[in-house]
Amino acid sequence: MQNNNCKDIVLSFEDYTSKLSVILPKIYGRKPLACVNTFGCQQNVSDSEKIKGILEAAGYGITEDDENADFVIFNTCAVREHAEDRVFGNIGRMKALKKQRQGMLVAVCGCMSQQQIISDKIKNSYPYVDIVLGTRHSHKLPEYIYKRLTGAARIFDISEDFSEIIEGMPIHRDGSLKGWLPIMYGCDNFCTYCIVPHVRGRERSRCSFEIVNEAKAMVAAGFKEITLLGQNVNSYGKGLSEDINFAGLLKKINDIEGDFRIRFMTSHPKDCTTELLDTIAACEKVETHLHLPFQSGSDRVLKTMNRKYDSTTYLNLIKEAKKRIPGVSFTSDIIVGFPGETYEDFKETLRVVKEVEFQALFTFIYSKRNGTPAAVMPDPVSRAEKGKWFNELLLAQEEISKRNYASLVGQVHRVLCDEVKENGKLSGKTLSAVEIEFEGEPSLFGQFVNVKIDRFTNILEGTKI
Ligand code: SAH
Ligand code: SF4
Ligand code: F3S
């Protein structure tokens, strides 16, 4: 708890949680079920684990099946238009369900509903949605569910008052082997295409004491992989009263006793220091993999995107990382067809892709987000043309990925076995985040295993040694 304001919030949270747990069995005559439908990035998956924890504390059982739920909440993503369309399609399904299920409540929260225009659209066109919340309001859920169940009108709260991080909320983790650990919230970078800073608010770091304690509890509970989350983990620590940066935080978590791995996302190239690269190399639990989005290879486009680096700085950073971190692998995000991008600009992106030789890429065609600066920039290139560039990029990367994977044949890696596949084989990832399939007993699930890579077909296959 960071200040009195937070204390008040938590008091009212506890108050409504206990009130709700008293009335729920009376209303439903049994323990009601809640379903959390999650869209978007790992940050949302992590937020949904908190929402589930809160709902459990208030007396709900958790189900994955929204057709059997008494409370359905959609935790939404606004990053691209396609993501929003999917959410509206799913909310639409609730109309018929609600008619069949007495006492059922529907809520929408997260990045989409944080936008006034979307909240208004739901208010006007989706009358069967009972509660609308933004990205920083999940601690208010017990209060709003209680009020709605006891006769209040539909509730809409996307206020931006909650800038404090509220620690100590209950959490219902989806897995027991790999877990999410948010280290910061929000974003201050305002890339001109991106809605995230507008819906997630200003960057706020959690204090390292809270993070390290949570990591210790996860390790004690048997987690073998912890993924640190933030929109830009490399700027962790800014604004905190303690003197710490991301490299310092990695060291503290690496010092926790136990056999586990530390992953992190996402790294912004502008804040990736040589101190951080050396820390990654020196901390044996930290992955030797950097997800380092560069978005575009054209310096002109990068400037218009407000990314605050150019292609030369990015390529030098990659060279430095290759030199300092043995066996490092890279992945990246790329946007194709940013407003005003020409084929010449796009060829610069291809040039960077070929020079770096990424393990894999996450590629997106630019999607206009209202309220961002890029939304009003001239965008003359047709969707069909952008599609052609996009396919050219995919083809180029396919060749590179294949070459990259093939070069690993013969190597021995320690993998965390995290999947028993339908074909009976096991699969696990190396410290550099590369997946290998191998034969073995299902009891190896959850364990670290040494695997020799035998061949690359369309996947890497190996043998346990
Ligand atoms: N904070 C992270 C990225 C978060 S969003 C970072 O800066 O690296 C994940 C990815 O979605 C971005 O890296 C970008 O490639 C893509 N993206 C964001 N806004 C987009 C838009 N309007 N259109 C297309 N892709 C977008
Ligand atoms: Fe969006 Fe840029 Fe922030 Fe990433 S760093 S969330 S792309 S504004
Ligand atoms: Fe989407 Fe919000 Fe994440 S917009 S990508 S869910 S931060």
* Dist CA 455 CA 465 (whole Å): 15
Whether 444 and 304 map to the same domain: the answer is no
In the predicted structure, residue 3 carries a pLDDT above the cut 60: no
Q: Which two tokens mark 65?
A: 């099946």
Whether 122 and 86 map to the same domain: the answer is yes
| CATH code for the domain in which residue 244 is found | 3.30.750.210
Residue nearest to ligand 2 atom 1, measured at CA:
194
Residue 205 CB–ligand 3 contact under 6 Å: no
SS3 for 217-237 is HHHHCCCCEEEEECCCHHHCC
The verdict on residue 54 lying in a domain is: yes
C-alpha angle 284/217/429, rounded to 5°?
Answer: 40
Q: Which two tokens mark 179?
A: 């877990």
Residue 200 CB–ligand 3 contact under 6 Å: yes
Whether 273 and 377 map to the same domain: the answer is no
Whether 107 and 21 map to the same domain: the answer is yes
The 10 Å Cβ neighbour count of residue 199 is 26
Measure Cα distances from 91 to 72, 111, 232 in Å: 10, 15, 31
* Dist CA 99 CA 322 (whole Å): 59
Whether 146 and 201 map to the same domain: the answer is no
Whether 121 and 149 map to the same domain: the answer is yes
The alpha carbon of 197 and the centre of ligand 2 are apart by a number of angstroms equal to 7
* Dist CA 268 CA 184 (whole Å): 14
- pLDDT tens digits, one per residue of 35-86: 999 999 999 999 999 999 999 999 999 999 999 999 999 999 999 988 888 8
| CATH code for the domain in which residue 85 is found | 3.40.50.12160
Closest ligand 2 atom to residue 200 Cα is 6
Residue 41 CB–ligand 3 contact under 6 Å: yes
Pocket test for ligand 3, best of 77, 84, 370 (most atoms within 8 A of CB): 77
The verdict on residue 92 lying in a domain is: yes
In the predicted structure, residue 1 carries a pLDDT above the cut 50: no
Whether 201 and 255 map to the same domain: the answer is yes
- pLDDT tens digits, one per residue of 294-328: 999 999 999 999 999 999 999 999 999 999 999 99
Pocket test for ligand 3, best of 39, 44, 191, 370 (most atoms within 8 A of CB): 44
Closest ligand 1 atom to residue 362 Cα is 15
* Dist CA 323 CA 19 (whole Å): 58
Final residue before a domain boundary, out of 287, 318, 346: 287
Whether 448 and 396 map to the same domain: the answer is no
Whether 310 and 401 map to the same domain: the answer is yes
Torsion of CA 262, 265, 269, 272, to 10 degrees: -30
The alpha carbon of 371 and the centre of ligand 3 are apart by a number of angstroms equal to 16
Q: Which two tokens mark 241?
A: 């009263």
Residue with tokens 């007396």: 59
Whether 150 and 271 map to the same domain: the answer is no
Ligand found nearest the CA of 76: 3
* Dist CA 412 CA 361 (whole Å): 24
Ligand found nearest the CA of 75: 3
Q: Which two tokens mark 423?
A: 């074909």
pLDDT at 160 (0 to 100): 80
pLDDT at 83 (0 to 100): 80
Sheet containing 360-365: which strands, arranged edge to edge? 289-291, 329-336, 360-365
The alpha carbon of 116 and the centre of ligand 3 are apart by a number of angstroms equal to 16
The alpha carbon of 258 and the centre of ligand 2 are apart by a number of angstroms equal to 33
Ligand found nearest the CA of 45: 3
Give the residues surrounding ligand 2 with Cβ less than 6 Å away.
187, 189-191, 194, 196-197, 231-232, 268
Final residue before a domain boundary, out of 287, 313, 331: 287
Residue 43 CB–ligand 3 contact under 6 Å: yes
Provide the domain limits for residue 328.
Answer: 296-407
* Dist CA 140 CA 120 (whole Å): 20
| CATH code for the domain in which residue 372 is found | 3.30.750.200
- pLDDT tens digits, one per residue of 197-219: 999 999 999 999 999 999 999 99
Whether 209 and 333 map to the same domain: the answer is no
* Dist CA 188 CA 451 (whole Å): 42
- pLDDT tens digits, one per residue of 338-361: 999 999 999 999 999 999 999 999
Closest ligand 3 atom to residue 195 Cα is 4
* Dist CA 114 CA 136 (whole Å): 9
The verdict on residue 183 lying in a domain is: no
The verdict on residue 361 lying in a domain is: yes
Whether 97 and 208 map to the same domain: the answer is no
Number of structural domains found in the chain: 4
Q: Where are the alpha helices (DSSP H) in 292-417?
A: 299-305, 311-324, 343-356, 383-406
The alpha carbon of 111 and the centre of ligand 3 are apart by a number of angstroms equal to 6
415-419 long-range Cβ contacts below 8 angstroms, 24+ apart: 415/448, 415/449, 415/450, 415/451, 416/177, 416/224, 416/225, 416/261, 416/446, 416/447, 416/448, 417/444, 417/445, 417/446, 417/447, 417/448, 417/449, 418/177, 418/178, 418/225, 418/445, 418/446, 419/445
In the predicted structure, residue 5 carries a pLDDT above the cut 80: no
